[in-house]
Chains A and B, each alone.
Chain A
Amino acid sequence: MKKNRILTIGAGAAVLALGLAGCGGDSGSGGGTGTEGGDASEVEVFTWWAAGSEKAGLDALVSVFGEQHPDTEFVNGAVAGGAGSAAKDLLQSRLQQGDPPDTFQAHAGAEIQDYIDAAQVEDVSDLYDEFGLNDAFPADLVDRLTVDGAIYSVPANIHRANVVWGNTKVIEEAGVDPNATYETIDDWIADLEKIDASGATALSVGQAWTQVNLLETVLLAELGAEGYEGLWSGDTDWASADVTAALEDFETLIGFTNDDRDGLDWPDATQLVIDGDAAYNVMGDWAEAAFAEAGAEAPADYVYFPVPGTDGVFDFLADSFTLPVGAPHPGGAKAWLETVSSAEGQAAFNKAKGSIPARTDADTSDFGAYQQTAIESFGQDTIVSSLAHGAAVPVAVLNDITDATSKFTSGASDLAGFQDALVAANAK
């Protein structure tokens, strides 16, 4: 009987211990209660910059933040994976539950529309006045960020989506001049045919969103800046013959691409060009960091130029930060937004990330060669909003366009079906 009693006591103790462990709740990463002025003890920054040049950029921004706001602790809430799809997924649940991070990254433009509709982000126009951003940012940019008179995000950088990257050697071996300039896409297609005939992969592309990136540059080339912007405002008819011509060009270009595109993300597709397995790749200028990392030099190893037919047009996207409704540490969030929008913050961040500052007065003298040309273009060119990166349309429309594109490039629908699907997607 003594053994039984010992066993019972032991079992009871184990149950008690487990119960206490379960009951002892963790206080979570939040910590301190918010004071009336806005708790500035820490700031949880939610991004998808968890690797590569993006992480390097975030680290640079954090060190500037440490200098400008030494009393506020930076909590890294980065979520890796899928160019932000995993992060957006988690963000959607957190915002729905009322557990927002102190600030989160979102592409400036129509992508934020859903958050605005759901009343999940605060109006930060007064921060623009406080930090003097209305003068520091180009007027065109501030216009694009304004929704019904209010601004909901602070852009940290500007990226360009309509850039072609080429491997000099592969192009030369096919008998094409790597430094050739092309007036229209049809001129470029003529050279792509030559490269294709020589046996190399003329154009590399990756999974669905990179194909949408390619699609938007083709639409831009065929329709021009005004026609392209009209697609989103409703002025351009998706069922028109101009769009059909653009889709035919898109079909031709996809015909030059690698068969395994649906299994590759953008770094893999760009790596094909870096390694010499493909001649050209259309990708935003975050690809520049991949070339730099591989030690490639322009123009000896690689060349870049705006997508033929879009010279003089800057297809922009911007990573920006928001102030969520109900952020646990509003003071910390404001401090972060101040650093992100400051000249030093933007200079440090963009130098490491490979993009260009949104501010016109940041010190960019030691930026790389490509970035200097991008800064020049941004200052002079016509600016249009990127489709694939959330500036032109809200998430639901973009998902429908992506589905239609994937269906088309995998061969399940013909051109007419593709155009119909695009018409339907934009009718929402």
Chain B
Amino acid sequence: MKGIRRVGPPLLLLAPSIILMAVFVYGLIAANFATSITDNHTAAQATGQKPSVVVWFDNYVELLKTDDFQHSLWNLILFTVVFLAGAMIMGFIWAWILERPSKGEGIFRSIYLFPMAVSFVASGVVWRWLLNSNVDDKASGLNRLFQIVGLDWLQNPWWNHITFGIAAIAIPAIWQLSGYVMALFLAGFRGIPDELREAARMDGATEWQLYRHVLFPQLAPIALSALVIIGHMSLKSFDLIMSISTAANYQTKVPAIDMFLLKNSWDYANSAAVGTVLLVIVAVIIIPYLWWTNRKEDSR
């Protein structure tokens, strides 16, 4: 009885959230997985006019064997690496520059953070024009800018490039989310007590040594959470690619786009399989992180 009285009220408070999560997150994940193990590939099966049978993991095997899906996965990895590296480096440098209190710091912080408020679709439309792949005579957008400034050799086909085109799509994403990373790191810098800096200076550390040996290590947890947040955002990216390059273009295919196209083709089973693959990839990153932070909390 006493146990229930202790656990009861908190459980009751959490109950609505738990129920909603159970139904809309885990329930739907299960439904998605159930669809992906059937052979539901046509419109007739999708609407129940024809039966579909369980084929277990055939869909996954077929999917992972196809060249096109492997190309999508490669694009995803490339996009994630470029996006992560770019956003982390830019955000960290800006935070480092702004971490000393200075005049106009508020203005710069706002300027760097503003792009995050723009929707990917809206900025994608502008970036599509900027990343136009025409070169020389017919160039427009960034290629034309390079010509005007005299940096002709920098012109390139941007997202039209077969292997590395997806990295060009990472540029708008970096532009939009570096401000967020900067905000995280700035909070991290500000969270380090002043006594540590004074103590280091008293011990004779130079400014560079202060940063490298005292301050940066303290930022490791922040860097890790920034990595995880930006990482899972990049794994899910869809709207940016849709608005810059549209769904049908082979150069910029990623699994999220594959899922959308398969759904449009009434191939629900394969679409669900792609979704599950994406979920597994994201889980592989997030779950160890959560387990690691939990362990740290417990050990305190």
Residue on B with the closest CB to A278? B138
| Cβ-based interface call for A103 (8 A) | no
Flag the segment in B5-13, B57-65, B188-196, B247-255 that touches A.
B247-255
Q: Quick check: is B276 within 8 A (CB to CB) of the other chain? A: no
Docked Cα-Cα span, A263 to B141, in Å, equals 13
Given contacts A262-B245, A403-B68, A395 and B265 within 8 Å (CB-CB): yes
Cα distance A96–B138 in the bound complex, in angstroms: 46
| Given A96-B47, A259-B157, A263-B245, A403 and B250 contact (CB-CB distance below 8 Å) | yes
- Chain A 188-225 against B: per-residue CB contact (8 Å), 1 yes, 0 no? 00000000000101000001110000000000000000
Asked whether, in the complex, the Cβ of A410 is within 8 Å of the Cβ of B46, the reply is: no
Is A242 among interface residues, defined by CB-CB distance under 8 A?
Answer: no
The answer to whether A117 and B49 have CB atoms under 8 Å apart is yes
User: A399 contacts which chain B residues (CB < 8 A)?
Assistant: 261, 264-265
Please tell me which one of the listed residues B49, B135, B137, B245 contacts residue A119 in the complex, with CB atoms under 8 A apart.
B49
Contacts of B249 in A (CB 8 A): 207-208, 262, 406, 410
> Interface digits, A383-412 against B, CB 8 Å rule (1 contact, 0 not)?
000000000000110011011001100111
Contact A260 B133 (CB under 8 A): yes
Whether A406 contacts B250 in the complex (CB less than 8 A), given A258-B134, A395-B266, comes out as: yes
Contact with A along B18-44 (1 / 0, CB 8 A): 000000000000000000000000111
Interface contact B47-A120, CB-CB below 8 Å: yes
Per-residue interface assignment for chain B, residues 234 to 247, with 1 indicating a CB less than 8 Å from any chain A CB and 0 otherwise = 00000000001111
| Cα(A406)–Cα(B261), bound, Å | 14
User: Are the CB atoms of A118 and B68 closer together than 8 Å?
Assistant: no
Q: Indicate if the CB atoms of A259 and B162 lie closer than 8 Å.
A: no
Question: Could you tell me the distance in whole angstroms from the C-beta of A414 to the nearest C-beta in chain B?
Answer: 12
B42 and A402 within 8 A (CB) = no
Number of A interface residues in the complex (CB < 8 A) = 35
In the complex, are the beta carbons of B71 and A412 less than 8 A apart? Answer: yes
Please tell me if B178 contacts chain A, counting CB pairs below 8 Å.
Answer: no
Task: Please name the residue on chain B nearest to A211 by beta carbon.
Answer: B248
The answer to whether the Cβ of B80 comes within 8 Å of any Cβ in the partner chain is no
Contacting pair A410 B250 (CB below 8 A): yes
A286 an interface residue at 8 Å Cβ cutoff? no
Cα of A209 to Cα of B264 in the assembled complex, Å: 15
Q: Which residue of B lies closest to A277 (CB)?
A: B138
Instruction: Tell me the count of chain B residues lying within 8 A, CB to CB, of chain A.
Output: 33
Q: Which residues between 98 and 149 of chain B lie within 8 Å of chain A, taking CB atoms?
A: 128, 132-135, 137-138
**Across the interface, which residues of A come within 8 angstroms of B176, CB to CB?**
none
Chain A residues near B134 (CB-CB < 8 A): 258-260
Taking a contact as CB atoms under 8 Å apart, the answer to whether B248 and A207 are in contact is yes
* Separation of A88 and B247 alpha carbons in the complex (Å): 14
A228 CB to nearest chain B CB (Å): 23
How far is A307 from B246 in the complex, measured between Cα atoms in Å?
27
Could you tell me the distance in whole angstroms from the C-beta of A183 to the nearest C-beta in chain B?
32
Q: Would A88 and B248 count as touching, CB distance under 8 A?
A: no
CB contact list, B216-269 vs A, under 8 A: 244-251, 261, 263-267
For B270-296 the 0/1 string (1 means CB < 8 A from A) is 000000000000000000000000000
How many angstroms from the CA of A406 to the CA of B251 in the assembled complex? Answer: 8
Q: Are B248 and A396 in contact (CB under 8 A)?
A: no
B contact residues around A88 at 8 Å (CB): 264
Closest partner residue, chain A, to B263 (CB atom): A92
Asked if residues B47 and A118 are in contact (CB atoms below 8 Å), the reply is yes
- A400 to B250 alpha-carbon distance, docked (Å): 12
Given A260-B132, A263-B132, do A117 and B43 touch, yes or no (CB 8 Å)? Answer: yes
Smallest Cβ-Cβ distance to A398: which chain B residue:
B265
* Bound complex: CA A377 to CA B26 (Å): 58
Given the interface pairs A260-B133, A263-B133, the reply to whether A396 lies near B265 with Cβ below 8 Å is: yes
- Chain A 66-87, CB-CB to B under 8 Å as 1, else 0, gives 0000000000000000100100
CB-CB under 8 A from A396, the residues of chain B are: 42, 265-267
Kindly supply a per-residue 1/0 record for chain B positions 152-168, scoring 1 wherever the CB is within 8 Å of any chain A CB and 0 otherwise. 00000100101000000
CB-based closest 7 A-B pairs? A208-B248, A114-B43, A117-B44, A118-B47, A396-B265, A407-B250, A406-B250
Contact residues of B with A, CB < 8 Å? Answer: 42-44, 46-47, 49-50, 68, 71, 128, 132-135, 137-138, 157, 160, 162, 244-251, 261, 263-267
User: 30 A-B contacts, Cβ less than 8 Å apart?
Assistant: A82-B246, A85-B247, A85-B264, A89-B264, A117-B42, A118-B46, A119-B49, A120-B47, A207-B248, A207-B249, A208-B249, A258-B138, A259-B135, A260-B138, A262-B245, A262-B246, A262-B249, A395-B264, A395-B265, A395-B266, A399-B264, A400-B265, A402-B248, A403-B261, A406-B248, A407-B250, A410-B249, A410-B250, A411-B162, A412-B162
Contacts A113-B43, A114-B42 given; 15 further ones with Cβ under 8 A? A88-B264, A89-B264, A117-B50, A118-B43, A201-B138, A208-B246, A259-B134, A263-B244, A263-B245, A399-B261, A399-B264, A403-B68, A403-B250, A407-B68, A410-B162
